[in-house]
């Protein structure tokens, strides 16, 4: 028998596990009270990062100072660059980025300081350093020299330049800026909850972020955007899409990029990004892929009632930007580190150790039997 205090819900579905002032999914996704559609349409990622970390949109002076601090922090310790050079080239970028986040803690002068202001400074430095770490590893594994950040470019522009080696145009930069904003924060998702659990033990910010990256790697969370391209590649054409989806559904194959634990009527982030995905497809001459995606989406929605989530259009956007599939989830990290950091700060500021109970399903009390009698 269960009482109200011991209600069990697998996966903690519907359980309120804490309070946050950072974001809400009630009435559409909002960061600190601002609708993500407004932010994606009008703001730069730097403004949104400042908002999530500090609670309010910056003034022009505050934004300029914030951007200056990020530029100053876009340098890696040489020992970390050396460590990234030693990582096997076949290592997944997500694993290299997880290691980089942990290693950066060794050169963080305020690593052990969990005060609000110290955590804020560490968050800014980590936000600036992780794109450089990813760029260094990716460029080295492809036989290219390590990249250098360009102080004249935006955060989104720098991410693209460091990964591709080419100067992105306005549309590409805008597309990256929008995806960074849409991925920046999402309440108590699996990786954010992981970060808060770690932070609740009073572990440091770098430990919490490293754990969050590990949680994000899984295909049921951040890794889903990489699996989306596997689906589109296997389907191949709009003409084959309908039969492929119906066969997959009949065989109970899970099609990644659809459905969401909390968005039952559609992910507002996916709806916003869909138009930009189409624009990039037309610019790059890949409307065939976009049409394939449209057919898949229509069948899944009509047959299963599962609308697409953010991973469905974002994977196509990254593809149109010419980025390798195994960079998709690391790009998620470069954005979500803002939300994770804000949650670590909030947890440390109002801490209570997160320690749930389990519903025991093992045997009843048993007497110990000496080994010679078993």
Decide which of 221 and 197 is more confident. 197
Enzyme catalytic residues: 260, 311
**CATH topology match: 19-218+325-349 vs 224-320:** no
Write the class of the CATH domain 19-218+325-349: mainly alpha
The confidence score (pLDDT) of residue 219 equals: 85
Determine which of 133-142, 170-179, 224-233, 326-335 has the lowest per-residue pLDDT on average: 224-233
Question: Given a cut of 50, is residue 257 above it in pLDDT?
Answer: yes
pLDDT confidence tier of residue 276, bands split at 50, 70 and 90:
very high
Cβ neighbourhood burial of 94 (10 Å; 0-12, 13-18, 19+): buried
Per-domain residue ranges for the chain? 19-218+325-349, 224-320
pLDDT band at 94 (very low <50, low <70, confident <90, very high): very high
Of the candidates 103, 117, 92, 110, the one whose C-alpha atom is nearest the C-alpha of residue 210 is 103
What rounded mean pLDDT belongs to the chain? 93
The least confident of 106-110, 116-120, 223-227, 295-299 is 223-227
**Is pLDDT of 75 > 80?**
yes
pLDDT tens string 11-67: 787 788 899 999 999 888 999 999 999 999 999 999 999 999 999 999 999 999 999
State which CATH number among 1.10.10.10, 1.10.230.10, 3.40.50.880, 2.40.30.170 fits the domain covering 224-320: 1.10.230.10
**For residue 2, what pLDDT is reported?**
47
Q: What is the DSSP string of 184-227?
A: S--SS-HHHHHHHHHHHTT--HHHHHHHHHHHHTSTTTTTHHHH
Task: Encode pLDDT of 183-195 as tens digits.
Answer: 999 999 999 999 9
Structure tokens at 114: 């969990």
The pTM of this model reads 0.92
Segment among 10-24, 156-170, 330-344, 360-374 with least mean pLDDT = 10-24
């Amino acid at each position: 028998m269960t009482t109200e205090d011991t209600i069990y819900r697998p996966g903690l579905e519907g359980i309120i596990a804490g309070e946050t002032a950072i974001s809400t999914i009630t009435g559409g996704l909002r960061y600190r009270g601002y609708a993500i559609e407004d932010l994606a349409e009008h703001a730069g990622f730097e403004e949104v990062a400042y908002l999530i970390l500090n609670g309010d949109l910056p003034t022009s002076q505050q934004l300029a100072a914030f951007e200056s601090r990020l530029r100053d922090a876009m340098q890696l310790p040489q020992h970390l660059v050396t460590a990234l050079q030693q990582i096997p080239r076949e290592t997944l970028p997500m694993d290299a980025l997880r290691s980089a986040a942990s290693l950066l803690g060794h050169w963080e002068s305020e690593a052990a300081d969990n005060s609000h202001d110290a955590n804020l400074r560490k968050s800014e430095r980590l936000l600036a350093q992780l794109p450089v770490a990813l760029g260094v590893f990716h460029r080295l594994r492809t036989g290219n020299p390590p990249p250098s950040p360009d102080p004249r470019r935006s955060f989104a522009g720098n991410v693209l330049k460091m990964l591709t080696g080419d100067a992105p145009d306005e549309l590409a930069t805008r597309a990256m800026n929008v995806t960074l904003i849409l991925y920046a924060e999402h309440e108590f998702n699996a990786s954010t909850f992981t970060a808060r659990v770690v932070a609740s033990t009073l572990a440091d910010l770098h430990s919490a972020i490293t754990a969050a990256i590990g949680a994000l790697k899984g295909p049921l969370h951040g890794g889903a955007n990489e699996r989306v391209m596997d689906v589109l590649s296997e389907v191949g054409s709009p003409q084959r899409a309908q039969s492929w989806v119906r066969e997959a559904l009949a065989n109970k194959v899970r099609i990644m990029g659809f459905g969401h634990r909390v968005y039952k009527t559609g992910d507002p982030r996916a709806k916003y990004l869909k138009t930009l995905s189409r624009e990039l497809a037309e610019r790059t001459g890949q409307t065939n892929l976009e049409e394939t995606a449209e057919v898949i989406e229509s069948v899944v929605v009509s047959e299963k009632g599962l609308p697409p989530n953010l991973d469905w259009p974002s994977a196509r956007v990254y593809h149109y930007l010419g980025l390798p599939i195994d960079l998709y989830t690391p790009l998620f990290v470069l954005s979500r580190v803002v939300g994770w950091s804000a949650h670590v700060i909030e947890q440390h500021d109002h801490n209570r150790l997160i320690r749930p109970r389990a519903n025991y399903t093992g045997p009843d009390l048993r007497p110990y039997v000496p080994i010679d009698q078993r």
